[in-house]
Chains A and B, each alone.
Chain A
């Protein structure tokens, strides 16, 4: 295990860490589009709530990026 390329580990960390937030943002988008389709008159409030949720989920990916970028070779 000593001669594993650190770049491989970094790539794996980004790839695996992006799975969760991607699923989360996808679910939020699907739910928001469905909700707007049901009652389009409250589109503004649904979109603002959806953006908050997307911001909360994106923080997880930001942690992954933070850890990947700040760990040296």
Chain B
């Protein structure tokens, strides 16, 4: 009987260890993640170095358009130009790094070139975001930064008031506060699982369709690869957008004054 070729054999759920570096096992996703990080740094640094009032370099122009787009989104979310400018570097880095990491899994040679590790064939390169450890690290870093900025902006008491309101001794407020703290922990899980799930499932989908279609793999995987490019951009954007929203909610003072003041400021700024 016809049986579905299992893609599990070609791409396992966990990243595999390539070599040891001072007691720390370096996996293939970590190696490629470092490569992508250096590439992202070089790209942004080169664009920043070539940035002019009237950019002649094409790279600087495209990167400036990207940064400007993210800045507009951040201003819309924060309702405050200064705050958006403060968090802009982190948001731009997040978007660029996640987007390039997602796309790097589609490059030819990634996952197909194997290295010999103790007699086992291990893929030499693996996209950074197809490893749950990587996305979990990104999510923990993001939520940790959100907590840090919230405490720096409002103080520890003010930050706790976000969860437990002004009167924590009332049972209903206590219950809601515990729920909110649990929701904060759940954000780490959803942020990491969403990114990992979409990108990893996409990679496995390409492998499975290539195995199913046999000789016509080059034709059958083409639309899926375009879908993957689209999802890479969407997921990077969603991760950045959710970070912006979490930051905006956590660092806001009272509800009413902030939104009114922000609107007036936005009008004068434009």
Chain A residues in the interface with B (C-beta under 8 A): 7, 10, 48, 51-52, 54-56, 58-59, 62-63, 65-66, 69-70, 72-73
> Interface centre among A7, A55, A65, by most B CB within 10 Å?
A55
| Nearest neighbor of A61 in chain B, beta-carbon distance | B201
Describe B's contact surface by its main secondary structure.
Answer: helix
List A contacts of B6 (CB < 8 A): 72-73
Known: A7-B4, A10-B4. A59 touches B197 (CB 8 A): yes
| Nearest neighbor of A71 in chain B, beta-carbon distance | B8
CB proximity of A49 to chain B, nearest CB, Å: 9
CB of B201 within 8 A of CB of A52, answer no
Known pairs A58-B234, A59-B197 / 8 extra A-B pairs, C-beta < 8 Å: A48-B73, A55-B238, A56-B194, A59-B193, A63-B197, A65-B201, A66-B204, A72-B6
CB proximity of B1 to chain A, nearest CB, Å: 9
B interface residue count range (under 10 / 10 to 19 / 20 to 34 / 35 or more): 20 to 34
| Nearest neighbor of B73 in chain A, beta-carbon distance | A48
CB of A52 within 8 A of CB of B237, answer yes
CB of B234 within 8 A of CB of A59, answer no
B165 interface residue per 8 A CB criterion: no
Known: A59-B198, A72-B6. A65 touches B234 (CB 8 A): no
CA separation between A66 and B4, bound complex, in Å?
15
List B contacts of A62 (CB < 8 A): 194, 197-198, 201-202
Pick the contact of A55 from B201, B204, B235 — CB < 8 Å? Answer: B235
CA separation between A14 and B237, bound complex, in Å?
26
CB of A59 within 8 A of CB of B8, answer no
| Nearest neighbor of B195 in chain A, beta-carbon distance | A59
CB of B193 within 8 A of CB of A69, answer no
CB of B237 within 8 A of CB of A55, answer yes
CA separation between A51 and B237, bound complex, in Å?
9
| Nearest neighbor of B194 in chain A, beta-carbon distance | A59
CB of B237 within 8 A of CB of A72, answer no
| Nearest neighbor of B198 in chain A, beta-carbon distance | A62
List B contacts of A7 (CB < 8 A): 3-4
CA separation between A48 and B76, bound complex, in Å?
13
B200 interface residue per 8 A CB criterion: yes
Kindly supply a per-residue 1/0 record for chain B positions 45-81, scoring 1 wherever the CB is within 8 Å of any chain A CB and 0 otherwise.
0000000000000000000000000000100000000
CB of A54 within 8 A of CB of B234, answer yes
CB proximity of A21 to chain B, nearest CB, Å: 12
CA separation between A66 and B192, bound complex, in Å?
14
List B contacts of A72 (CB < 8 A): 6, 8
B241 interface residue per 8 A CB criterion: yes
